[in-house]
Structure 1
Amino acid sequence: MFLSRFDGQSRLLVRALMSGISGTQKALTAFHKQQRANPELSLVNLLQTLCQDEVTRPEAENEPLVIKPMVCLFSTLFKQNLLTFVYLVHSVLPGTAILHLLKCLSKDSYVDPWVTALSRQLERKLALHHDEPLCTKDCSQKLKGLIDGVVGCSEKGGWAQCFNDQIVKSESQIISDVSEVSTQKKRRVSFVHLEDADDDETRQQSKRTKWTIWDDKLVELEDKDVKRDAWEGSEGAAPAGSPAPNSPQGNLPENLRASFLHIKELLESQKEWDETSTDAFKVLNECDSSQVEILCSMLNLPELPEHSLPKLCNSILSLSPDLSYSTAATLCRSLLLEKVLSLSEPASRCLVTAATSLCSHYPRPICHAVICPVLEDKTIGLPQAELLNRLIESCLDSHYKLLVLQMTFRVSWSEAVLSIIHSLLDSKADLNEEVFTQFMKQLVSQSPHVTKSMKFAKMMLTVLTKYSSHITAAHKHSLTSCLDVNETFLKKSLQAALKRILHT
């Protein structure tokens, strides 16, 4: 009765989804044909029409008319087919449209367990995690009872007895089963092993039929190696688009979920962002620190390609008002830290642009969320030092240079760290008496470990020439002991510079 509400292409898909347990496969076949005829085909109209409100009769005669989304008025089997179809083609659908459909289905007066499970699985595909399991508590109890009843599955009986006298499923039934196991990888959604095995002899002679979903098509697998690969691939990997296994879990308010989907679509889009794209990031000013952590994890920002960083940073920097310290620190850490730590060669232009733009606008969050962890990392190398030196020279004022110098007092002075200290001192950081005294103590404690380091020698020369006015009588003895153990060719120059200070 509702078919007339759909356009021609959508009507064909609705008819397919209404055609029983093989509806999902028929809809996929129809959709692929439509795509070949029109590569620009969109399924948004289909979902929008299904989400339209409809006036319907109440369940009881004396109650007033009620308004429900159209999708709630279709049969349960149609809803199952629809959700399975959407799961398989979700990559060509906007996340916001899928989320709207799931919200409409949640208004259904009758809650079908399979529809609920498929809805939750779709939310997981969109990285909107549920704490509760896919199956209901009653279903979990039944599964436990089934498992307890077939413990001896390796003995005669066991699983073979469970499937004895059962009719081998037809292809259409197997397609329906795909909807029941959609927690596995898209390209390997299900694996069905049908075997008539009452004893060992029959088991060896029986024909094994293997089925899997490959590129959204049901195909038969005859090779045992293919069977093994399909099984291992589906068990060993999380669904595409899921966050990393160790990422923070939690539910976001509905408005933040919608914004997350919008941001995700922007990050995955190859098109240029317009001015309205910035509006999607305004939600960052509405989040608390834990929600920002969850958003960054769900968006998998540490894995974001470097070429996407500049436009993302531009959108973040154009927000008004500015982000809070905690929000900015979380974003900077997610966007930059892992990329900086993994550098094995000079940073790319995109990474340098992103880091300098964020550091110029949010120097304190960058110092604590990026620079400090990099300094503390024992594997810090020259590529990291080169990038940090660029930030120090072009983005940090004297106050933050002083902060970074104090951070170096808590770590061992490797060649990379010495390069950063030299850059800080060479930029004539405004050292007060207390910080300079702390620096001298660190200098004395570190000097025996870097006697042959040219970077340490050059840094000492900078101290003796640019900070001679800070050197007191108490410091002169410490500096003498440092120079006595130095083994570089600059030793005589350093001793001469110290001698001039001693006679002034």
Structure 2
Amino acid sequence: MSIVITGGFRFLLLSELQTDWNRPAGLGTGMFLIRFDGQSRLLVRALMSGASGAQTALTVFRKQRRANPEKSLDHFIETLCQDEITGVENENDPLTVKPLVCLFSSLFKRNLLTFIYLVRSVISGTSILHLLACLSRDSHPNPWVTALCSQLERLLEFIQEEPLHTKQCSLRLKELSASLGCLDETGGWAQCFNGQTMKSETQSTPELSELGTQKKRKSSCVHVEDADGGETGHQSKRMRRDACEDECIEAEDENVRKDVREVCGAESPAADRLLEDLPENMKASFLQIKEVLESQAEWDENVFNVLNECDPGQVEMFCSMLRLPELPEHTLLKLCNSILSVSPDLSYSTAATLIKSLLMEKVLSLSEPASRCLVTAVMSLCSRYPRPVCQAMIGPMLEDKNIGFPQAELLNRLMESCLDSHYKQLVLQMTFRISWSEAVLSIIHSLLDSKPVLNEDIFSEFTEELVRQSPQFTKSVKFAKMMLTVLTKFSSHVSPAHKHALTSCLNLNETFLKKSLQAALKRTTNT
């Protein structure tokens, strides 16, 4: 769309709007902040903050939703879709009108689309479609932005047929495939570009394909026979020997399959999946690990090195088929020691999957304090792999509604002995996403008692949670003790705004510690 303005009015309009658009599109986008309301302006600033803008915007949006559960992004997207007059580099060029979102930088657009994907459940499909339509009007599209738009449409099932790659990309890939000499073969690259057509042709002519393969084999044999009679004899011997070796390998594979089925049950779908998906060396390692777990003698810990070759799905399959969650606790301790001996250390994803499979079921089923073997096993893994333990075990435990004091006691021991200040911060932030119980209060109190290093933002978020969750703990002594710890050990963090919020929180308290809490809060004024 173009607007042509001539004469003195054009000059007047140019001079009046010079500060808005006398620059290339995407530069000086901070000037457009005045188009947004206060909360939307915070989101725009977050999305403009750099490569992590999408995650920053998500954090901002979550805080806004906590303050106002009815918060919607439709008005924010509507503002981005409003038409704006773009700048011109030459007075003789016509003015153009584009959606506001097209005037931001490519980095902003990438962050915006990523953010939209993360929060798509709270945005209407119509608004997303409108935004994508506006982005398609960009006169200088960025390939990454275009790909993200296509992916977002595909994920939201707005379109089904269009590929994510461009025609130019498809052409270049075809040229690369042709140079490798594999485009004429079925499968591989051919499936990517020929799609259902090739599939149907392949299905309709299986006899021709098989016949062609047989002809190739026959022509190869004829060529060998014509070349030299002596060579033919040696070739025949080699072929017979190779055939014999293939039979031996097939027999060995069948033995492995039989052993695996005996372990998992003849009709177990997990056994079939293992046979189909796992490489041969992992199938053999599966049986070796099973023998090690059942053996009462000294373990050969080297067999566990296969874990470094597994992806998380294969690790989960191993744990399920070996029934690791059902191991006795003394065997679990030996297994954890063997896992710690694996070199190099396991990747984060592998360690997280293994820890979740090994420990979650045992820890959540505790109805009394954990045994010494279980505590030692958990602490040994937590010392070596603290981040996977936090994400794969501690986080899900806190979110579980049935968490009780046996679980809380175990987590308290981990925080006292295994986790440094950084991971204690992480655990504290995990409690901001859940509804607190008496067991969770015990964990938070123990965590604060160790006095981790908290920055201003985390302490402010924690104060908001205290105020939000305090009404349900007006008679809780545990909550009062935790508050007392906050006011004594973190008094230097308490600002006037925190003091005002905490005062209203303490006024609701009905325990015998109320006066002590009010006195401690009053003393924070003098620090």
Scaled to the shorter chain, the TM-score interval is: 0.5 to 0.7
- Counterpart in 2 of 1:45? none
Aligned mates of 2:445, 2:414 — CA distance in 1: 14
2:489 aligned to which of 466, 477, 502: 466
Q: Does 1:104 align with 2:251?
A: yes
- Counterpart in 1 of 2:447? 424
Q: Structure 2: which amino acid aligns with 1:358?
A: L
Q: Does 1:399 align with 2:425?
A: no
Cα 1:426/1:119, change in 2 over 3 Å: closer
1:382 aligned to which of 405, 410, 432: 405
Question: What is the CA distance between 1:441 and its match in structure 2?
Answer: 0.5
- Counterpart in 2 of 1:373? 396
Contact residue 457 and residue 490 of structure 1 kept, 8 A: yes
Cα 1:500/1:253, change in 2 over 3 Å: same
1:478 aligned to which of 501, 504, 515: 501
Question: What is the CA distance between 1:282 and its match in structure 2?
Answer: 0.8
Contact residue 392 and residue 401 of structure 1 kept, 8 A: yes
The 5 Å alignment of 1:303-322 reads 303-322=326-345
CA RMSD of aligned residues (A): 3.0
Q: Secondary structure at the match of 1:64?
A: helix
Question: What is the CA distance between 1:430 and its match in structure 2?
Answer: 0.3
Contact residue 69 and residue 104 of structure 1 kept, 8 A: no
Aligned mates of 2:365, 2:441 — CA distance in 1: 20
Cα 1:253/1:490, change in 2 over 3 Å: same
Cα 1:483/1:250, change in 2 over 3 Å: farther
2:306 aligned to which of 264, 276, 283: 283
- Counterpart in 2 of 1:259? 285
Question: What is the CA distance between 1:432 and its match in structure 2?
Answer: 0.3
Aligned mates of 1:437, 1:244 — CA distance in 2: 51
1:358 aligned to which of 365, 381, 395: 381
Alpha-carbon deviations, 1:183-238, whole Å to 9, x = none? 48xxxxxxxxxxxxxxxxxxxxxxxxxxxxxxxxxxxxxxxxxxxxxxxxxxxxx7
Q: Which has the higher contact order (CA 8 A, sep 6+)?
A: 1
Aligned mates of 1:374, 1:396 — CA distance in 2: 16
Cα 1:492/1:105, change in 2 over 3 Å: closer
Cα 1:357/1:119, change in 2 over 3 Å: closer
Aligned mates of 2:376, 2:418 — CA distance in 1: 12
Q: Structure 2: which amino acid aligns with 1:124?
A: R
The 5 Å alignment of 1:180-329 reads 183=266, 251-273=277-299, 277-329=300-352
Cα 1:122/1:355, change in 2 over 3 Å: closer
**Structure 2: which 5+ runs fail to align?**
1-232
Q: Secondary structure at the match of 1:389?
A: helix
Question: What is the CA distance between 1:323 and its match in structure 2?
Answer: 0.7
- Counterpart in 2 of 1:126? 263
- Counterpart in 2 of 1:444? 467
Cα 1:255/1:121, change in 2 over 3 Å: closer
- Counterpart in 2 of 1:166? none
Aligned mates of 2:375, 2:333 — CA distance in 1: 9
Q: Secondary structure at the match of 1:409?
A: helix
Cα 1:248/1:419, change in 2 over 3 Å: farther
Alpha-carbon deviations, 1:235-263, whole Å to 9, x = none? xxx7xxx9699x99952100011111111
Aligned mates of 2:471, 2:514 — CA distance in 1: 14
Aligned mates of 2:358, 2:376 — CA distance in 1: 12
Question: What is the CA distance between 1:503 and its match in structure 2?
Answer: 4.6
Q: Secondary structure at the match of 1:266?
A: helix
Aligned mates of 2:497, 2:401 — CA distance in 1: 32
Q: Normalised by the size of structure 1, how large is the TM-score?
A: 0.54
Q: Does 1:413 align with 2:439?
A: no
Aligned mates of 2:302, 2:243 — CA distance in 1: 29
Contact residue 248 and residue 293 of structure 1 kept, 8 A: no
Q: Secondary structure at the match of 1:444?
A: helix
Q: Structure 2: which amino acid aligns with 1:428?
A: K
- Counterpart in 2 of 1:348? 371
Question: What is the CA distance between 1:126 and its match in structure 2?
Answer: 3.2
Cα 1:382/1:119, change in 2 over 3 Å: closer
Alpha-carbon deviations, 1:392-414, whole Å to 9, x = none? 00000000000000001011110
Aligned mates of 2:280, 2:274 — CA distance in 1: 18
**Structure 1: which 5+ runs fail to align?**
1-59, 74-100, 107-115, 128-181, 185-237
Aligned mates of 1:334, 1:250 — CA distance in 2: 22
Cα 1:256/1:499, change in 2 over 3 Å: same
Contact residue 249 and residue 294 of structure 1 kept, 8 A: no
Contact residue 256 and residue 283 of structure 2 kept, 8 A: no
Contact residue 475 and residue 510 of structure 2 kept, 8 A: yes
Aligned mates of 1:256, 1:370 — CA distance in 2: 26
Alpha-carbon deviations, 1:340-380, whole Å to 9, x = none? 10000000111101000000000000000000000000000
Cα 1:249/1:256, change in 2 over 3 Å: closer
Aligned mates of 1:121, 1:471 — CA distance in 2: 66
Aligned mates of 1:397, 1:333 — CA distance in 2: 21
Q: Structure 1: which amino acid aligns with 2:382?
A: C
Aligned mates of 1:430, 1:72 — CA distance in 2: 63
Aligned mates of 1:398, 1:327 — CA distance in 2: 24
Contact residue 102 and residue 119 of structure 1 kept, 8 A: no
Aligned mates of 1:318, 1:299 — CA distance in 2: 20
Alpha-carbon deviations, 1:292-322, whole Å to 9, x = none? 2222222221112111122111111112211
When the two structures are aligned, how many residues end up with a matched partner? 294
- Counterpart in 2 of 1:37? none
Q: Does 1:64 align with 2:237?
A: yes
Q: Percent identity?
A: 67
Alpha-carbon deviations, 1:321-349, whole Å to 9, x = none? 11110111111111111111000000011
- Counterpart in 1 of 2:56? none
Cα 1:103/1:308, change in 2 over 3 Å: farther
The 5 Å alignment of 1:139-150 reads none
Contact residue 418 and residue 459 of structure 1 kept, 8 A: yes
Q: Secondary structure at the match of 2:237?
A: coil
Aligned mates of 2:483, 2:391 — CA distance in 1: 27
Cα 1:351/1:119, change in 2 over 3 Å: closer
Cα 1:71/1:249, change in 2 over 3 Å: closer
Question: What is the CA distance between 1:417 and its match in structure 2?
Answer: 0.5
Q: Secondary structure at the match of 1:434?
A: helix
Cα 1:248/1:496, change in 2 over 3 Å: farther
Q: Structure 1: which amino acid aligns with 2:237?
A: P
- Counterpart in 2 of 1:487? 510
Q: Secondary structure at the match of 2:433?
A: coil
Q: Secondary structure at the match of 2:435?
A: coil
